[in-house]
Chains A and B, each alone.
Chain A
């Protein structure tokens, strides 16, 4: 079947034969399909051809696997993931982190892990070597609401308002206090550690504590038009209600009209264009030269609170651009225990 538009403006009607495959892909349930649908509708308005459009589709994880350890053998890890059982080879070069560097043999059945892997050879892509394994890793970033000794309740911006319970490991107290000198209610905390039930045993600070109280990040000191690319820092967050392997990001400047939480303390110290959930941005890890187009999958309002820099490779400009999902952070070459990487963001549309 073919359409014959009698008026010039109906050239904007995308023909069924051109878009059927892409449309049916885009109407599948799930966040990436939602992104795909909006990207397709955007392309419909702006007349982007499929050739230009599809390279902007969100990245599919190629080097990340998440799941629960089913079995640990001498040279193989068996993982129960969303896609079923997967096997990963381990070698002496495999780096395992579970609060500190450890041997893969320290892993136990039932441990929640995220693995960065690569194919052992191009001919057999299913034979994969685990390069890095993070076990039970967790992170809490937010405002301290109560403090008692090494224990803290932190408002991490959960939808239900419940605080997160953080216990700083006895051996890490000094290290955390150096980076977070004001461990008192009203100040910000951002720590990485291991999950033990509902609490986080914090072992490393993820950043340096901002000197201001929560909600009082300094406003941007520049004005004028926005640059095409914006540089800053990219961090990661735990999945929460999201699927563990989701590739996406929490965006710090969601359109307030989307019902995003109101800007507590302004827009933060980095100027970001307002976007809606489902919009796509290209995030580039300046430390590894890896980039990906990722959909905005959650509200990253908390990231606005932190006017910090990343020093993984040089010193980044101030401000958090993206609060990536764990899978996206690892896919882009970030190491979770580092907490951040120097990043550049451009709108992918």
Chain B
């Protein structure tokens, strides 16, 4: 029974370490920040926070992968012991770091699972870190993973894993955050949409193809957002007159509608400027 519990710890720790690393990477990718302002790295000097956050993320990923690779008989012995000892050191360090963080930065989250871990460090998070420390200790002497000998043993393994996962879930404020996020189908007004994506949608639209030749620059003169619409303004030239071409891009999906308007700014640029050869605008009456 004890061996079975030990075996479960290896897989569980590996999943948690890889999950934590993936969440940090997701935050770095999605928010353009490696989360270096949250978690124990918040106690580092500002210039060291980013490298420390990156190192922590890489370490978790390496240890998680190492635990999985050395779990079977192929990695048994020295390699498995080394990886599991390193994992134990990491979690023991985490307990101390979280304790320090709680004292120095009571407003900071643990950052364990990226931006999901923004809840201030409380007793649950401390207990979870201690539990994982115990799990890493138990995993030290775990035998190499093997297939269960019977259906009963398989069910028992599943039950132990489920019970431990349930306990971890109770101790994890991230679960509540995740449920809230998953239940939110955010309307487009509330979605963060990068300008680059808007410009990409715009450049593939029929409106852009129709008006592109009248634009004087490839760089927008103004970009702003109002709810579900992002407006992009370019200076242009139509029939020898200076205009502003305004595109409104709907921020829902990659094929949202794009509308366009042209504002005559009143400057007559015939002479030094000449309109595009296919300029479709014509003066009906001379000035």
Which of B187, B210, B284 contacts A3 (CB under 8 A)? B284
Residues of the A chain whose Cβ atoms lie less than 8 Å from the Cβ of B191: 274
Q: Is A72 an interface residue (CB 8 A)?
A: no
Which of chain A's residues has its CB closest to B284's CB? A4
The smallest beta-carbon distance between B221 and chain A, in angstroms, is 10
Q: Are B225 and A257 in contact (CB under 8 A)?
A: yes
Residues of the A chain whose Cβ atoms lie less than 8 Å from the Cβ of B262: 10, 12-14, 44
Q: Are B284 and A2 in contact (CB under 8 A)?
A: yes
Using A12-B260, A14-B263, A224-B187 as known contacts, say yes or no to A275 and B227 having CB atoms under 8 A apart. Answer: yes
Q: When chains A and B are docked, how far (Å) is the Cα of A221 from the Cα of B183?
A: 10
Using A226-B189, A276-B226 as known contacts, say yes or no to A41 and B246 having CB atoms under 8 A apart. Answer: yes
Using A223-B184, A256-B192, A277-B224 as known contacts, say yes or no to A7 and B280 having CB atoms under 8 A apart. Answer: yes
Which of chain B's residues has its CB closest to A17's CB? B264
The smallest beta-carbon distance between A183 and chain B, in angstroms, is 14
Q: Are A213 and B107 in contact (CB under 8 A)?
A: yes
- Give A231-272 as 1s and 0s: 1 = Cβ < 8 Å from B's Cβ atoms: 000000000000000000000000111100010011100011
Which of chain B's residues has its CB closest to A12's CB? B261
Q: Are B246 and A1 in contact (CB under 8 A)?
A: no
**Tally of chain B residues near chain A (CB < 8 A):** 52
Residues of the B chain whose Cβ atoms lie less than 8 Å from the Cβ of A5: 281
Q: Is B45 an interface residue (CB 8 A)?
A: no
Which of B118, B184, B185, B228 contacts A265 (CB under 8 A)? B118
Which of chain B's residues has its CB closest to A143's CB? B107
Q: Are A44 and B282 in contact (CB under 8 A)?
A: no
Residues of the B chain whose Cβ atoms lie less than 8 Å from the Cβ of A224: 185, 187
Q: Is B16 an interface residue (CB 8 A)?
A: no
Q: When chains A and B are docked, how far (Å) is the Cα of A255 from the Cα of B227?
A: 9
Which of B187, B223, B283 contacts A226 (CB under 8 A)? B187
Q: When chains A and B are docked, how far (Å) is the Cα of A54 from the Cα of B192?
A: 30
Which of chain A's residues has its CB closest to B251's CB? A274
Q: Are A274 and B225 in contact (CB under 8 A)?
A: yes
Which of chain B's residues has its CB closest to A42's CB? B231
Q: When chains A and B are docked, how far (Å) is the Cα of A226 from the Cα of B284?
A: 46
Using A13-B243, A45-B259 as known contacts, say yes or no to A262 and B33 having CB atoms under 8 A apart. Answer: yes
**Is chain A's interface secondary structure helix, strand, loop, or mixed overall?**
loop
Q: Are A225 and B187 in contact (CB under 8 A)?
A: yes
Q: Are A45 and B226 in contact (CB under 8 A)?
A: no
Q: Are B248 and A274 in contact (CB under 8 A)?
A: no
Q: Are B263 and A44 in contact (CB under 8 A)?
A: yes
Q: When chains A and B are docked, how far (Å) is the Cα of A213 from the Cα of B224?
A: 32
Q: Are B261 and A14 in contact (CB under 8 A)?
A: yes
Q: Is B11 an interface residue (CB 8 A)?
A: no
Task: Enumerate A8-35 residues with CB–CB distance to B below 8 Å.
Answer: 9-10, 12-16, 19-20, 23-24
Q: Is A279 an interface residue (CB 8 A)?
A: yes
Residues of the B chain whose Cβ atoms lie less than 8 Å from the Cβ of A20: 266
Question: Which of A14, A40, A45, A347 counts the most B-chain CB atoms under 10 A from its CB?
Answer: A45
Q: Is A179 an interface residue (CB 8 A)?
A: no
The smallest beta-carbon distance between A328 and chain B, in angstroms, is 19
Q: Is A214 an interface residue (CB 8 A)?
A: yes
Question: Which of B190, B210, B226, B247 counts the most A-chain CB atoms under 10 A from its CB?
Answer: B226
Q: Is B219 an interface residue (CB 8 A)?
A: no
Q: Is B193 an interface residue (CB 8 A)?
A: yes
Q: Is B82 an interface residue (CB 8 A)?
A: no
Q: Are B190 and A45 in contact (CB under 8 A)?
A: no
Residues of the A chain whose Cβ atoms lie less than 8 Å from the Cβ of B277: none
Using A5-B281, A258-B225 as known contacts, say yes or no to A41 and B261 having CB atoms under 8 A apart. Answer: yes
Task: Enumerate A276-295 residues with CB–CB distance to B below 8 Å.
Answer: 276-279
Which of chain B's residues has its CB closest to A216's CB? B120
Q: When chains A and B are docked, how far (Å) is the Cα of A20 from the Cα of B228?
A: 29
Using A13-B243, A13-B281 as known contacts, say yes or no to A273 and B190 having CB atoms under 8 A apart. Answer: yes
Q: Are B190 and A257 in contact (CB under 8 A)?
A: no
The smallest beta-carbon distance between A296 and chain B, in angstroms, is 10
Q: Is B200 an interface residue (CB 8 A)?
A: no
Q: Is B60 an interface residue (CB 8 A)?
A: no
**Contact residues of B with A, CB < 8 Å?**
31, 33, 106-107, 118-120, 180, 183-187, 189-195, 210, 222-228, 231, 233, 238-239, 243-244, 246-248, 259-266, 280-285, 287
**Contact residues of A with B, CB < 8 Å?**
1-7, 9-10, 12-16, 19-20, 23-24, 38, 40-42, 44-47, 186, 213-216, 219, 221, 223-226, 255-258, 262, 265-267, 271-279, 347, 349
Given contact pairs A3-B239, A257-B223, a sample of 18 additional A-B residue pairs in the complex whose CB atoms are under 8 Å apart: A1-B287, A3-B281, A13-B264, A14-B262, A42-B248, A44-B244, A44-B263, A45-B246, A47-B261, A216-B120, A224-B187, A226-B187, A255-B224, A257-B193, A273-B227, A274-B190, A275-B226, A276-B225
